[in-house]
């Protein structure tokens, strides 16, 4: 017999595959996943450095202080005041500073045919058509200062007006005349009538008028216009203005 073969350990180590590699591997018991994957943990939040936080807080404090100071130092625009409804107060008449109308006086050396009076007598109302129909040239009338009341009075006592012209309006106006037509009658008739009554043009005397116009049968209804002579201040007097300026 020949000699046993020599076992070359270096050759065995240099082999590409070994017997161990060729042995079948045991599979683990039970099903196993192909791959086991665990998600990575979430990233940790970054913390803001303490220095940045402090700077931000200080900046907010400074900004708030500046805004407050500016609002206090800036003048606010005044809002227009809303008018409050007020109850209207009745107007009170202020005392008049104007002097009362001057009483006409006679020039030196001339005697007047009349004299100023203070009292006003009472009598029939010339606004009554029956009384108005009885008016004639020379009739005397006492009219109140407010021009609301009047009375036919004797010429021997105080009065304010003396009738110097009477005119019938029946033929001239078929219907009631308006204020414009009455003013035209006054302007046309009364200034001349007072001059004829007083005897001349004199600023101490002026004219007035009354009128009535009834609806009714012509000739029976009272329809007339009357001019009067009076003092320029329309004050009461005694005596007469007839030929007072002559």
- Give the other-Cβ count within 10 Å of 114's Cβ: 19
Task: Render the burial of 128-137: b for 16+ CB within 10 Å, e for the rest.
Answer: eeebbeebee
Within a domain: residue 62?
A: no
Number of domains comprising the chain: 1
Within a domain: residue 7?
A: no
Query: Phi then psi for 227, rounded to 5 degrees?
Result: -100, 150
Q: How far apart are CA 111 and CA 144, in angstroms?
A: 27
Q: How far apart are CA 222 and CA 208, in angstroms?
A: 20
Within a domain: residue 163?
A: yes
Q: How far apart are CA 216 and CA 185, in angstroms?
A: 22
Within a domain: residue 182?
A: yes
Within a domain: residue 149?
A: yes
Domain that holds residue 172: 114-239
Q: Are 106 and 112 in contact (CB under 8 A)?
A: yes
pLDDT given for residue 86 in this prediction: 35
| Residue 109 burial (10 A CB sphere; 0-12, 13-18, 19+) | exposed
Q: Are 176 and 213 in contact (CB under 8 A)?
A: yes
Terminal-residue alpha carbon distance, the chain = 207
For 212, the token pair is 């009535």
What does each of the 246 residues of the chain score in pLDDT, given as a tens digit? 566 666 667 766 676 666 665 656 665 555 555 555 566 677 676 666 677 778 788 888 778 777 776 655 544 444 444 444 333 333 333 333 334 445 555 555 567 889 999 888 899 999 999 999 999 999 999 998 887 899 999 999 999 999 999 999 999 999 999 999 999 999 999 999 999 999 999 999 999 999 999 988 877 899 999 999 999 999 999 999 999 987
Q: What is the pTM of this model?
A: 0.56
Within a domain: residue 41?
A: no
């Amino acid at each position: 017999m020949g000699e046993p073969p020599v076992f070359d350990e270096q050759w065995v180590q240099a082999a590409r595959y070994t017997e161990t590699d060729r042995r079948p591997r045991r599979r683990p018991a039970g099903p196993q996943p192909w791959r086991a994957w665990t998600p990575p943990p979430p990233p940790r939040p970054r913390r803001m450095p303490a220095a940045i936080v402090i700077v931000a807080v200080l900046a907010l404090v400074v900004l708030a202080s500046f805004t407050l100071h500016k609002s206090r130092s800036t003048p606010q625009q005044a809002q227009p005041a809303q008018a409050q409804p007020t109850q209207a107060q009745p107007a009170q008449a202020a005392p008049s500073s104007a002097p009362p109308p001057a009483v006409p006086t006679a020039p030196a050396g001339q005697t007047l045919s009349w004299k100023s009076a203070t009292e006003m007598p009472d009598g029939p109302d010339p606004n009554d058509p029956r009384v108005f129909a009885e008016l004639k040239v020379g009739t005397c009338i006492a009219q109140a200062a407010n021009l609301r009341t009047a009375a036919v009075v004797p010429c021997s006592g105080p009065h304010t007006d003396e009738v110097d012209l009477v005119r019938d309006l029946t033929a001239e106006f078929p219907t009631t005349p308006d204020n414009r037509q009455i003013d035209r009658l006054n302007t046309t008739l009364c200034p001349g009538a007072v001059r004829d009554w007083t005897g001349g043009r004199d600023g101490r005397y002026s004219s007035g008028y009354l009128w009535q116009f009834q609806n009714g049968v012509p000739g029976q209804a009272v329809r007339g216009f009357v001019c009067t002579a009076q003092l320029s201040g329309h004050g009461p007097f005694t005596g007469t203005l007839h030929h007072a300026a002559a």
